[in-house]
Amino acid sequence: MKRRTLLGGTITAAVLGLTFGLNSAALAQQPPLKIGMSMAQTGGLAGGGKASQLGIEIWRDDVNARGGLLGRKVELIVYDDKSSASETPAIYSKLLDVDKVDILFAPYATVPTAPLMPLVKQRGMLLMGNFSFQVNSKVGHDMWFNNAPWGPADSWAASFLELGQKAGGKTIALLAADQEFAQNLALTARDVAKKMNMQIVFDQAYPPNTVEFSSILRALKAAKPDIVYVASYPPDSAGILRAVNEIGIGDNVKIFGGGMVGLQFGAVMENLGSLLNGVVNYNTWLPEPSMQNEGTKAFFETYTKRAIEAKVDPLGYYLAPFGYASGQMIEQAIKAVGSLDQKALAKYLRENEHKTIVGPIAFAADGERKESATLQAQFRGVVDKNMDQFRKPGTQVILFPAKMKSGDLISPFEAARK
């Protein structure tokens, strides 16, 4: 009996091993499931692009460890768009016509994404957006899904201006880069200000290559606004804050910031240090207890190790977890639909709520979040040359939304700076 049992077990193990080997061989012969994208590896958006790509790569590794999708290994095909809008149309045509990708992810940011929208719509392809702002407002592509937490178009500006109004602000200064993303923010800010019966006393766009902001800040200061709303890209954000530090902004300013890109990245924050104090700015994820979800801790443990090796943003809060979330949403859609049918995948994404490491995500008809989850947070007690301070709660106090709030606004801005 024992000999038969042993022999039977040996045969069973051999059969199972053979079956597993055959399955593995079959899977290995399946063509990879290709996800194509461009991502800024060079140029002004590279810091964000590299962190975003690392987040997506971590998801790819995780999903492949679980057996891939549809029995196929997931492969990423990525090209450098050099942070330029002129590069992306040719790249995405190549992804579709030469690389024959199955799924498209958008590049990081508004400027490189906007030129793609007509092409993607024409080809009938689903596109997972990546932190662009209102690029679908005119195109109306029904297979666009933005991973960013922006929500309704006016919610970003509204949350900031309402904080300023509650602090006693009645007049507004707008300062925005002359690029699509910043101008979209400025446009919504004007609309919100009008609805709130707030007077705009200064409204200026500056060329994207501006490096010296002293004269602009002096003119803004002379207008004596109560609220200063800034929509800027990373190089500009640093230049503007240095100019504020040099010449001041006026004792009447209740709140300053709002739409400054760059102040979410570890290297920029460490470099600016104490110049950040008092600024209220948008963000997407911060290390506050209210923002922990299933998988968040494990993701950042992996991200931190790999970010050091890859020499990318060591914090990764702003973009990386949302890159991972894009993968999670595509994974859930493909598993639910059971195919790569673009219309079926879009229908599933549009009609269901999706569980991700950045919290539940549900889309409105335009492919943006049904409800804004964009944070407004104030920098407090920041010292120079200290990265670790940003890993702790309290350095960026969440003022909005209410369900994630961790403190109240310190106002006026000059007092908050001190």
Count of residues making up the chain: 418
- Model confidence pLDDT, tens digit, residues 379-400: 999 999 999 999 999 999 999 9
pLDDT of residue 134: 87
Neighbouring residues of 68: CB distance < 8 A, sequence distance ≥ 6: 27, 33, 74
φ, ψ of residue 210 in degrees (nearest 5): -65, 135
Q: Which residues pair with 177 in a beta bridge?
A: 206
- Model confidence pLDDT, tens digit, residues 24-68: 454 557 999 999 999 999 998 898 999 999 999 999 999 999 999
Distance (Å, rounded) from C-alpha 90 to C-alpha 354? 32
pLDDT > 50? residue 416: yes
CA–CA distances in Å: residue 45 to residues 42, 52, 80, 319? 7, 11, 11, 12
DSSP string covering 241-288? HHHHHHH---TT--EEEEEETTTTSHHHHHHHGGGGTT-EEEES--S-
Distance (Å, rounded) from C-alpha 235 to C-alpha 321? 23
- Which of 188-192, 234-238, 271-275, 405-409 is the least confident region? 234-238
Nearest of 133, 373, 383 to residue 259 by alpha carbon: 133
CA–CA distances in Å: residue 109 to residues 20, 96, 104, 282? 44, 21, 15, 15
- Model confidence pLDDT, tens digit, residues 148-201: 999 988 998 999 999 999 999 999 999 999 998 899 899 999 999 999 999 999
Q: What's the half-sphere exposure (Cβ side, CA atoms, 13 Å) at 408? A: 4
pLDDT > 60? residue 22: no
pLDDT of residue 28: 59
The residue-averaged pLDDT of 267-274 equals 94
pLDDT of residue 376: 98
pLDDT of residue 210: 96
Q: What is the token pair recorded at 244?
A: 């504020």
Burial state string for 11-39 with b = 16 or more CB within 10 A and e = fewer than 16 = eeeeeeeeeeeeeeeeeeeeeebbbbbbb
pLDDT of residue 204: 98
The whole-chain average pLDDT of the chain stands at 92
Determine the angle formed by the axes of helices 320-337 and 46-65, rounding to 10 degrees: 40
The residue-averaged pLDDT of 82-104 equals 98
Amino acid at 118: P
| pLDDT confidence band for 418 (50 / 70 / 90) | confident
Q: Is 395 exposed, middle or buried (0-12, 13-18, 19+ CB in 10 A)?
A: buried
pLDDT of residue 352: 98
Distance (Å, rounded) from C-alpha 310 to C-alpha 52? 12
| pLDDT confidence band for 229 (50 / 70 / 90) | very high
| pLDDT confidence band for 14 (50 / 70 / 90) | very low
Q: What is the token pair recorded at 19?
A: 């079956």
- Model confidence pLDDT, tens digit, residues 293-314: 999 999 999 999 999 999 999 9
Distance (Å, rounded) from C-alpha 404 to C-alpha 257? 20
Q: Is 67 exposed, middle or buried (0-12, 13-18, 19+ CB in 10 A)?
A: exposed
Distance (Å, rounded) from C-alpha 262 to C-alpha 97? 34
Dihedral Cα 221, 222, 227, 233, nearest 10 deg = -50
The residue-averaged pLDDT of 78-90 equals 97
The residue-averaged pLDDT of 91-105 equals 98
pLDDT of residue 25: 52
What percent of the chain clears pLDDT 90, i.e. is strictly above it? 85
Count of CB atoms within 10 A of residue 85's CB? Answer: 18
CA–CA distances in Å: residue 17 to residues 4, 10, 11, 13, 73? 19, 10, 10, 6, 21
pLDDT of residue 2: 39
Q: What SS3 class is residue 402?
A: helix
φ, ψ of residue 78 in degrees (nearest 5): -130, 135
Distance (Å, rounded) from C-alpha 263 to C-alpha 417? 15
Q: Which residues pair with 292 in a beta bridge?
A: none
φ, ψ of residue 144 in degrees (nearest 5): -110, 130
